[in-house]
Amino acid sequence: MFGELEAVVMDRLWSLGGSGTVREVLEQLRTDREIAYTTVLSTMDNLHRKGYLTREREGKAHRFRTVVSHAAHTAGLMREALSAGVGSEAVLAHFVGEMTEDELTRLQAVLARRSPESGR
């Protein structure tokens, strides 16, 4: 789970294709808020230390890359919510019950493509 600023930084990195320097993320963030370079740097360093980002030297800076895609991260959050135990079937039923017709159609297509051999 990400802290508030960590989540915003990850979202910006995902919007940049999963890769960016501190300066690139800072420029993205400054469209919405006033924030210091050192704040973004320390947040990205923390995400690297926690294993959410990799980094490699690029000139005088580092290029950070997300370890998982936005879709994989979101799917993990959904799995976490469903694994919470208490009323997971009710949670799933409520979630599906609030889906639009288009979302239901896409869900049915995903389920139809699912291999019976996958054992899931």
Distance CA 100, CA 45 (A): 39
pLDDT value, residue 80: 83
pLDDT value, residue 4: 94
| 52-99: pLDDT as tens digits | 999 999 999 999 999 999 999 999 888 887 877 667 788 888 888 999
Q: Which domains does the chain have, with CATH numbers?
A: 4-66 (1.10.10.10), 84-118 (no CATH)
Specify the pTM.
0.77
- DSSP letters, 40-55, are HHHHHHHHHHTTSEEE
pLDDT at 117 over 70: no
Distance CA 76, CA 34 (A): 31
Identify the bridge partners of residue 65 per DSSP, sorted by sequence position. Answer: 19, 54
